[in-house]
Structure 1
Amino acid sequence: MLDLRQLRYFVTVAEEEHVGRAADRLHISQSPLSRQIAQLEKNLGLTLFERSQQRLRLTSDGRVFLAEATALLRHADRLENLGRRLGRGDEGGLCVGYVSDAMHTGLLPRSLRTLNEGRPGIHVALYALTAAEQFEGLRQRSLDIALVPEEPPADDPDLIGELLLEDPLLLALPSGHPLADAAELLPGDLDGLPWVAVEDGQDLVWRDDFVAACAAAGFTPDIRFEAPDPLTALGLVASGLGTAFVQKSMVRGGATGVTVRELPWFPRSVRLWAVWHRVDLRPVVASFRATVLDAGAEGVDAREGVAAPAPGTGLPVRSGA
């Protein structure tokens, strides 16, 4: 049986690539740490490290084992947190998984504010995880609700989900750009323009998917920058470094020097789903789920009823045709 302590030792040594530095982090001496790593390798029948006098390097098998060990330890931490809350009778505790769009759209902050106003004593633990990690967390009951960019499989025996929102992508241009005030924008107008692409750190092929979607629409972007989030992308656009696609919910705030255009021929959206286990163990989970679903409905109503202003202009988003 795997020893979680040995796994933590292994992960620390892998991160440091040096037994001495790892021992300092773990507040133990080097000899016991080396013995624990050797014992782990012996128990597994696996060589995890290539050893030299200067440093340790993971073997190919070691890299695979590290990824799984890290995931297991993360789950163990969440499980311990759940056990502590149950042990002290903290019925109101919640573990919420999310992706960055749940924050960017304001849906998760709105939901948490409503929760805090109604039940201020509830402890909430937030975990930024991929959709697959969140689904597994729900199945293992270490997460209570997941906010993810995709729905669970239709035949999943454990999970159920509901679409919270579809946040349309709009074209953001520097305000002085020749296309900013054009009466009509066509796909060919965007072909070869300098572009700021918004990364999707949870999708390894996000860049290929993005370029393919643009090509299908009739243009090829010249990607000059890869921004880690939409706000960064808006800042780069405002500086005149390129154009970008950003969610409609992101254009309400204050980046100056940006003009936002709708493109009816590029009907792509960022989707956000709420997913939960089919069996609710605690009333507070159902209550928070209802709060999240209400926040999603309110967000959709707000976007449909009010034209969002282009940052820095106070003007409605302009139509692309």
Structure 2
Amino acid sequence: MLDMRQLQYFIAVAEEEHVGRAAERLHISQSPLSRQIAQFEEKLGLTLFERTQQRIRLTRDGRTFLSEARAFLTHANRLESLARRLGKGDEGGLCIGYLESSMHSGVLPRALKALRADRPAVHIALYNYHSAAQLEGLRERSLDIALVGEPPAADDAELESSLVLNDPMLLAMPDEHPLAGKRTLSADDLATQPWIGVTQEESAPRHGAFVAACAKAGFSPNITVEATEPLAALGLVAAGLGMTMIQQSLREQVPGGVVVRELPWFCYHTPLWAAWHKVNLRPLVGIFREILVTANSVEFSGK
């Protein structure tokens, strides 16, 4: 049986790569910490650290063990939190991973509103992680539900998913731009225009698709400004700094001074998937999953 205290000590030393700093972080003396680490290695039958006079660093086995140790500790902490909530008589709460697009599209807020209407006391914890981290969270059971841009594989042994949003892309431009009066814009109209790119990780697939569509149309977009997220890009468009592509679900949040147009030559939809573990341990998770899937029809799919 693993000693949780020794596991925490190991993680601290591994992260600090220095016993003294780890001891300060843990509020214990250095010598007892060194003894605990040595005992932990002996118990496991593994050499977790390479030791020199200057520093201590993980071995290859140590690096592998650290990844699993972090996941184990995360799950143990969550189990402790779950036990406390169950002891109070509630249903254990929900840990939900999400992308920002699930917020500004209303997918997650709608589902949470529906859940709260029926279960007002349920504790909800939200975690803004990228898709890969969310799927890993489902596997580790540190998340109950994930809202991701890429679903798990169809043959995934542990996870399954359902499409909850298929969001078309629109062009946003300053309302005083000479092209703002045109209802239909060709690729030639936009070939020499300045563009505002979005560097957010979840925007990468749609950015790549747009650049590919531009290349097919015979030009490369002149990206003169980069923003970290779509709402910031819209603010820059309103200031007259260029054009950008946004999801249709952002249309209600377009600021004054900006108009949006469809681009017939760029037909791309940004998907959002709800994902969960196939082994559903608690009824509350299943209830919220059904709310999430049924409360959000795939309204922008063009069906």
TM-score, length-normalised on structure 2?
Answer: 0.78
Identity over aligned pairs, percent: 42
Match of 1:68 in 2: 67
Moved more, 100-109 or 200-209: 200-209
Q: How far off its partner does 1:235 sit? A: 0.5
Q: Structure 1 residues 150 and 205 mapped into 2: Cα distance closer, same or farther (>3 Å)?
A: closer
Q: How far off its partner does 1:159 sit? A: 2.2
Match of 2:151 in 1: 151
- Where does the alignment leave 5 or more consecutive residues of structure 2 unmatched? none
Q: Give a deviation string over 1:159-207, Cα, whole Å, max 9, x none.
A: 2211101111100111121221124311122224222112232588886
Q: Structure 1 residues 287 and 66 mapped into 2: Cα distance closer, same or farther (>3 Å)?
A: same
- Structure 2 counterpart of 1:250, one-letter code: L
Q: Structure 1 residues 89 and 183 mapped into 2: Cα distance closer, same or farther (>3 Å)?
A: closer
Q: Structure 1 residues 174 and 115 mapped into 2: Cα distance closer, same or farther (>3 Å)?
A: same
Contact 1:92–1:121 under 8 Å retained in 2:
no
Give the total of aligned pairs. 295
Match of 2:178 in 1: 178
Larger RCO (CA under 8 A, 6+ residues apart): 2
CA–CA distance in 1 between the matches of 2:190 and 2:164? 31
Q: How far off its partner does 1:264 sit? A: 1.6
Match of 1:31 in 2: 30
Q: Give a deviation string over 1:198-256, Cα, whole Å, max 9, x none.
A: 22325888865653343245431122222222111100111111211011111212511
Tell me how large the CA RMSD over aligned residues is.
3.9
- Structure 2 counterpart of 1:212, one-letter code: A
Q: Give a deviation string over 1:14-44, Cα, whole Å, max 9, x none.
A: 6xx9955x666x3626735984897589954
CA–CA distance in 2 between the matches of 1:149 and 1:249? 15
For residue 242 of structure 2, give the secondary structure of its aligned residue in structure 1: coil
User: In the TM superposition, what are the counterparts of 1:170-319 in structure 2 within 5 Å?
Assistant: 170-201=170-201, 211-297=211-297, 300=299
CA–CA distance in 1 between the matches of 2:196 and 2:257? 15
Contact 1:145–1:276 under 8 Å retained in 2:
yes
State yes or no: 1:13 paired with 2:22.
Answer: no
User: In the TM superposition, what are the counterparts of 1:163-174 in structure 2 within 5 Å?
Assistant: 163-174=163-174
Contact 2:47–2:59 under 8 Å retained in 1:
no
- Where does the alignment leave 5 or more consecutive residues of structure 1 unmatched? 306-321
Q: Give a deviation string over 1:253-280, Cα, whole Å, max 9, x none.
A: 2511111111121111211111223333
Q: Structure 1 residues 10 and 246 mapped into 2: Cα distance closer, same or farther (>3 Å)?
A: farther
